[in-house]
Amino acid sequence: MSVLLLTHPSGLAHENGEDHPECPDRLRAVMAALEAEEFACLVRDVAPPATEDQLCLAHPAEYVRWILSIRPQPGHFTPLDGDTAMNHASAEAALHAAGAAVAAVDAVCADDSIRRAFCATRPPGHHAEPRRAMGFCLFGNAVIAARHAQRAHGLGRVAILDFDVHHGNGTQAAVWDDPTILFASSHQSPCYPYTGAEEERGAAGNIFNATLPPGADGTAFRAAWAQRLLPAVEAFAPELLVISAGFDAHARDPLAQLRVREADFGWLTDEICRIADRLCGGRVVSLLEGGYDLEALAASTAAHLRALMG
Ligand SMILES: [Zn+2]
């Protein structure tokens, strides 16, 4: 069984501004780590663009057209919020990041030789709300992946598992009243975007938030998943697992204060794959979200891919 790696060069040209932590070097660090001999068996492909129709799985059409119309001249930036901006390549990069998520779903659902896929793309997506870009995110890639699996491949229940250190407020907003999609998230609290309290359960009881205090380490991170989030995922009996794979809970990350290590990300990925093997025909689609210390990001992504490869 092969693991698919999708990326697109536009992810190397999208920038939020000078000295911004969500920068092209992040993707370079990830791709350099995956050049190692142990990853030679990955099936590599270039991500196609998403269609507007696919982007509308998570956003109203007006929002999609507005984002895609923002194409400033090279060297210029169009700010969307305090920490999110677009340059000349951003619309293209966002199209291919969402398109990678869609193609990854197509591969794990329809290609018998592929059971897991990782999308090494930028911009990330889990903070993008249906009508609002924020937190370095333009389109809700994880939600688009989940709903594409339902619409194009007839799946019923899909679970989105988000271990980025920040709460995936955009994903939560998009699936709040959707009983067919479970959203499980571990995140530091308090921390940006200051949502994701454990009382936030969704209109259909389909949201599961586990908060971790600043300073929490891998033991607390593993316990949150093993004791609370993974049992909820299993009880939901999903047919596909989508991971919002942010690696900024790492101890070295400059944007938060958790003390998770790459081995913890590897452990969680193993556990997720075990559930997928039991309930989902092995199907896992993983999407890169945050992770801002380049060394930690590279090592964590490598640990994640090792586990996806089994
Ligand atoms: Zn994050």
Q: What's the rounded Cα separation, in Å, for the pair 225 and 184?
A: 9
Rg (the chain; Cα; Å): 17
Compute, in angstroms, the gap from residue 197 CA to the centroid of ligand 1: 16
Show the beta-strand stretches assigned E in 129-274.
158-162, 181-188, 207-212, 240-245
CB proximity list for 307: less than 8 A, separation 6 or greater: 266, 267, 269, 270, 273
Q: What pLDDT is attached to residue 118?
A: 99
Compute, in angstroms, the gap from residue 41 CA to the centroid of ligand 1: 29
Q: What's the rounded Cα separation, in Å, for the pair 169 and 276?
A: 24
Tens of pLDDT, residue by residue over 121-180, are 999 999 999 999 999 999 999 999 999 999 999 999 999 999 999 999 999 999 999 999
Compute, in angstroms, the gap from residue 206 CA to the centroid of ligand 1: 22
Q: What pLDDT is attached to residue 1?
A: 77
Compute, in angstroms, the gap from residue 110 CA to the centroid of ligand 1: 31
**Which residues are tagged catalytic?**
127
Compute, in angstroms, the gap from residue 282 CA to the centroid of ligand 1: 26
Q: What pLDDT is attached to residue 7?
A: 98
In this prediction, the residues of the chain whose per-residue pLDDT falls under 70 are none
How does the average pLDDT of the chain come out, rounded? 98
| CA 209 centroid distance within chain | 16
